Structure 1
């Protein structure tokens, strides 16, 4: 089994999150996407504390897809520095792991 990742990306709108979700799943870079929100985010940007309403996009993917996903997010996402982090998945049921592997495909190098 390939290393599973749970990827979290904050987006400025549901529309942006949906565009990234659709492209990720269509290109098989992620097997599934979930959108939550809006949430309130507080962050430091260029020395100023900012607040914004954002949507959280969760992608279920595998490590070999990370680079292509990062490129895709940077292409679609309007932020200069999208907040995109990946967490390794340490446990999951075997049928889910199989489904994840069957529904993701890293692009050829």
Structure 2
């Protein structure tokens, strides 16, 4: 098992996702960012079922950077409750894992 986590964040626009991605890379919190979308989302908010198009941002980072990435997201994300979850990376090839650590500060 590695200490790399895959962080998934849904964003209301490409601009918000790119702002968070750029900040995470520039501050060496994450080694890589991928942006997908738009995707269709259905969710309950304040007891009303809502539908929206969102963008999915994936960050690859050491687990030790979670708190700093969360702070970055909360600074730039307009939602009251951003959907931000981390999945453990069970395994990664050694050169990629080394690359992630070379391109981040923990």
Matched residue SS, 1:43: strand
RMSD: 1.1
Residue of structure 2 in register with 1:90 after alignment: 90
Normalising to structure 1: TM-score of the pair?
A: 0.94
| Greater than 2 Å deviation, 4+ residue runs | none
Contact in 2 for aligned 1:2/1:101 (Cα 8 Å): no
Aligned pairs, number: 106
Task: Give ranges in structure 1 of 5+ residues lacking alignment.
Answer: none
Residue of structure 2 in register with 1:35 after alignment: 35
Task: Give ranges in structure 2 of 5+ residues lacking alignment.
Answer: none
Matched residue SS, 2:81: coil
Partners of 1:90 and 1:2 in 2: how far apart?
Answer: 6
Partners of 1:28 and 1:38 in 2: how far apart?
Answer: 26
Residue of structure 2 in register with 1:76 after alignment: 76
Normalising to structure 2: TM-score of the pair?
A: 0.97
Q: What whole-Å deviation, never above 9, does each CA across 1:29-55 have from its counterpart, x for those lacking one?
A: 000000000000000111110000000
